[in-house]
Amino acid sequence: MFKILQKALATGIATVAYPDVPAVVSPHFRGRPEFDFASWRDARPAAEVCPTGAILVGQALSPANRRVTVDYGLCVFCGQCADVSPDGAVRVTTEFELATHNRARLIRAADYSLNADGTHQRLIAEYEAEATAEEAGGKVSEAIRNTLGRSLAIRQVDAGSCNGCEMEIVALNNPIHDIERFGIQFVASPRHADMLLVTGPVTRNMELALQKTYAATPDPKVIVAVGACGISGGIFGTNYASRGGVDATIPVDVYIPGCPPRPEALLYGILLAVGRLAEKVR
């Protein structure tokens, strides 16, 4: 026992102070791709290499125009779009605080006029979903916050994940991230849970199980879709074996992009979901 105490004192505090202070992120971490729509000369190469179809190129107002859509809910942050964009209009950032109450807020679009060779002549307009007062709170009303208080019980549901998201979720309980310092803990039964943290595309085999888990969770409850697969189906999409995103099966309150989201991104989304990041609501 004495050696354990001695080791603990020698180690000191290992827990990070996030979100009270910014997270320490490696410069090599691949976070949100940033698109400079005004400088983007041609979106077609990026759309061709995108493994999930997160970048779409389509016709806008006329054959002489083009609409480019970027969906961060589909993005797996692979960085291939930046690799094939020599004009520097696409770059991979280290930003990970992308959780949002509104799925539409993860989508950006821009219209371009075109040159004869199909490259972009000029940017006509850029589009982004507007935040609304209703969205800012999502379904997390004052009544829910009053009921949950400063504690939160989470039941994690694997609806068909590759387990990449689960590895990051497990890290929330280690001494570095220590989610229990917020009064948040994971429970074994949905009947004891305030929140469902759902990962993976919802497989056809898990669809009924997820619906039953949702029904077994007492009200008020919060549902969080984790990762690209949980938001949109990700690399698996919607097919004979997959329903796609979680919101195709049960209602979702908060979406956390990433493939997989890092522990801080998960913590950010969880705190946002229960109204404990009011000053940062997206």
CATH topology of domain 137-280: Rossmann fold (3.40.50)
Closest CA to 196 of 180, 218, 174: 218
DSSP state of 150: T
**Local confidence band at 110 (pLDDT 50, 70, 90 cut-offs):** very high
For 29-68, what is each residue's pLDDT tens digit? Answer: 999 999 999 999 999 999 999 999 999 998 766 778 899 9
Distance CA 264, CA 241 (A): 31
SS3 94: coil
Distance CA 220, CA 140 (A): 9
Distance CA 224, CA 267 (A): 11
For 167-217, what is each residue's pLDDT tens digit? Answer: 999 999 999 999 998 889 999 999 999 999 999 999 999 999 999 999 999
pLDDT of residue 282: 40
- Do the beta carbons of residue 239 and residue 58 sit within 8 Å? no
SS3 237: coil
Number of Cβ atoms within 10 Å of the Cβ of 236 = 19
Structural domain boundaries of the chain? 33-133, 137-280
